[in-house]
Amino acid sequence: MFGNRKFIVSVSTCLVFILLIACSTEENLRRTTSNLTVTSIHDTVIARKTSVKKLKELYGEPYKIETDSQKAIDLFNEINNDEGSINTVLEDNTDYWDTLKVDYSSPIKGLDFEGYYEYRGKGLAGMRVYFFIIKDTVRSYWFYGDITDESVAKKDKYLRQILD
């Protein structure tokens, strides 16, 4: 009788453990895919402070990790110099960049990027976001591409402002 009970307790424990893992994984997937929006990035990422570990906790694994510093610098400059980019539109029509969170006391300065993390997601309305990294910390970020899904953009605080 006790042998049968030990088996049932063991199976029950395993099932509870599997259920907890499944729920945790599902919650992380839901959180990362739904939180990757222009507004959520603005509200959660602190330039010069947010670690790459925290970035992954917030948004999951990146679509691409680039570790070539020259490629990161070149991409940053290309996007920065594009006067027609979504970043310029955000600057001209919203307070997005004026209210960006930055840790000015951080020792991380300059633009000697070690690489970047590229993220894509439905909440970005067809755009991509590049987080430029120095010392395992987000130094800066830029959006890239065009809004291709206006229905998603209309749900985002900042993208909605530039659609009007």
Residue showing tokens 């894509």: 120
Whole domain around residue 130: which residue ranges?
A: 36-163
Q: What is the pLDDT of residues 62-109, one digit of tens each?
A: 999 999 999 999 999 999 999 989 999 999 999 999 999 999 898 888
**Computed from CA positions of residues 153, 159, 161, 164, in that sequence, does the dihedral angle turn out positive or negative?**
negative
Q: What is the pLDDT of residues 127-145, one digit of tens each?
A: 999 999 999 999 999 999 9
Residue 8 lies in a domain: no
Q: Are 161 and 135 in contact (CB under 8 A)?
A: no
Residue 18 lies in a domain: no
C-alpha–C-alpha distance, residues 117 and 161, integer Å: 26
Residue 74 lies in a domain: yes
Q: What is the pTM of this model?
A: 0.78
Residue 113 lies in a domain: yes
Query: Quick one: tokens of 47?
Result: 């330039």
